[in-house]
Every structure is written in C-alpha cells, then in structure tokens.
Structure 1
C-alpha cells in the first residue's frame, strides 16, 4: 500500500500515509515511513531514513544518511509489544549528514546538529550539538536562523 516514486532519476520511498509539504527536495534513496509529516520547503538528503510518526516542520534541512529512530529496542521477528517514540524536528533546524536521532527526541527551532552526531537528549532552540554522544558546542547565530523576516525576503527575490 505504499509507493515507490521516481522523479528525474531520483528514486525514493514515501508511505501513502505520510504527508509531504510543498517545495520539498527529497533525494535518491530516502525512506519516509507511515504517518510522517514533512513541512514545506524542506530538504532530505540521499539515503536518509525517517521513521514512523516523525514530524518535520517547515524549512528543515536533513543531510544524507541521517537516521531518525522511533523505537527503543529492535523488535524484528519478535512478538514484543512496543511503543513508538516519534521525533519532532522543529522549524528551520539543520541536521548534518550521518547524524542519528534517537527515539522521542525534539530538535528545537533553528538548532544545528553536526556531522555523525548521536543525539540522545533534546536539542534546545538555536543550539549547536555534535559528537558521540552529542553535547552542546555553541549557539546558532542570528544570521543563520530562518525566521519570518528572512522568509519574506526570499519570497520577494523569487517574485522578481
């Protein structure tokens, strides 16, 4: 009941129950599972895997090979009850390639997750986290934040 989609040599999988917003760039090999919500103007890089129930707000960048997880244990081929712990990636956040986001995590608005980071705790808005396990390494500067003012400037440029 799910669909494989091909778009100009880009092959990816999006569940029929997933919702993808407008003007999104979804690259080759991406997997988007059931009941995922992707906002508008998002980028999802090659071979990223977005698991069931994840919510991705507008203007989010997800790099290649990012794993967004939703279960606290592997239940493959086992009759074990488990509960989903969906992830929420908030507006304007950036997740660098090969990062792993553990179940139940919230990535705050305009936050930045570094390359190959393993996110084990929530990342507050406008913070930079990287490492294994990831730790706070700094703050996102004003000029790197996506906000209504910047969005309206970008739209004005598009209209010209």
Structure 2
C-alpha cells in the first residue's frame, strides 16, 4: 500500500488495526473518532484528529490517503462504509495481520479486519467489512457475507454459510454445512449443529434459540 491510511474509529479494534498497519510498514495518518473527548490525544504516537464525518479530513481520503473502518458496532460500521462509498467513491482497505493465513484460492473483499493467526481455507469466500478476531478458522468452501463478525478462536467448518451482519461469539464451533441467517447472533462457546434463522439468537451446546 503506497498511501498512508486514516483509521475511522479509535477504540476497540482500531488500536489492533494500527498494530497491523505498523507491522506491514503502512503509515497511519491519524484516527477519526466519534468521541470528542479523544480528539487531540495520541495512540502510540498517532493523533486522533477529529470526527469521522469531518469533511476537512475526509477530503484527504482517495487522493492522499486510504481509509479503514475500525468500528465494532455493525450499524455505525455500515453507515461509515456507505459514507465513504457515496461521498469519497472509495472502498476501505483490508487490515490483515502478518501471521494470518489466507489460501491462494480463497476470495476476500474490501475493508476486512483479519487479526493474528486467522486461517482462511481454500475456496473460502469472505465478503467485505468483516471482523475476524485472533485465531478464527474459516474452513474450505465456507462463505461469509458482508459485515460478519467472528470471535476469537471460533471454528467455522467447511461449507458453512453465514449471512450479512451475523455475529459469531468467541470460541464457537459451527459444524459443516450449517447456514447462519442474516443478522443472527451466536453466543460465545456455542456448538451450532443446525441452521439459524435470520435475526435469531442462539446459545449453548447444542445451540438453541434464546426465548425473548
């Protein structure tokens, strides 16, 4: 990556993203953070410049800088991505840790956060703007749609399909062939042996729907 990167967000995965860019010898121009109390502060010698919607900084994106959206909240993440797509006509770049393994036959989109020791197997498909935490395993021919989050140490077996915006907690195992619906949530440590419907929350071993 030739251009420096502006990180939208300064909390949660933002500092891990900075570490990834540093290790890949990519210069971080600064952070843009919604929390005004952080403006003017520094994180590992990188300044928090202002708000993510500040046109004064956003105008740098595309011409002089790349962008990466480092926001855990899925709705706000989607808002910021749409803003960059519509206003700046750019796609956020990927942040991929050096210790991650991505098969040469796998396909990944834009703006993904792929942390240490993540494995993405052959013919797997990872959409755009996903968050894959440390040690997550995406087995061969699994398919993740856009804005999916997978917790640390989770095991997504072969031929699993995960819908847009789904959240998979830490230490989850999803057995081969299962489909996880859009915006579904799987609680930490669960073992999922059957399909999960759109918007459904499941938990346990075997995972079962949580009654509202």
Normalization by structure 1: what TM-score? Answer: 0.71
2:180 pairs with 1:97: no
Give the secondary structure class of the aligned counterpart of 2:203: strand
Residue number among 98, 120, 123 corresponding to 1:32 in the alignment = 120
> Unpaired runs of 5+ in structure 1?
1-5, 71-85, 140-160
Structure with higher Rg: it is 2
Structure 1 residue 8: deviation in Å? 3.9
Give runs of ≥4 in structure 1 deviating > 6 Å. Answer: none
User: What is the distance in 1 between the residues matched to 2:124 and 2:211?
Assistant: 30
Structure with the bigger RCO (C-alpha within 8 Å, sep 6+) is 1
2:167 pairs with 1:57: no
Structure 1 residue 68: deviation in Å? 1.1
2:198 pairs with 1:125: yes
Residue number among 112, 131, 137 corresponding to 2:210 in the alignment = 137
- Structure 1 residues 20 and 63: CA distance shift in structure 2, 3 A: same
Of Structure 1 and Structure 2, which has the larger fraction of its residues in helix?
2
Structure 1 residue 88: deviation in Å? 0.2
User: What is the distance in 2 between the residues matched to 1:49 and 1:121?
Assistant: 19
User: What is the distance in 2 between the residues matched to 1:67 and 1:96?
Assistant: 10
Structure 1 residue 7: deviation in Å? 5.6
> Unpaired runs of 5+ in structure 2?
1-19, 24-96
RMSD: 1.3
User: What is the distance in 1 between the residues matched to 2:117 and 2:134?
Assistant: 6
User: What is the distance in 1 between the residues matched to 2:157 and 2:143?
Assistant: 12
Q: 1:20-54 CA deviation, whole Å, 9 max, x = no partner?
A: 11000000000000001111110001000110000
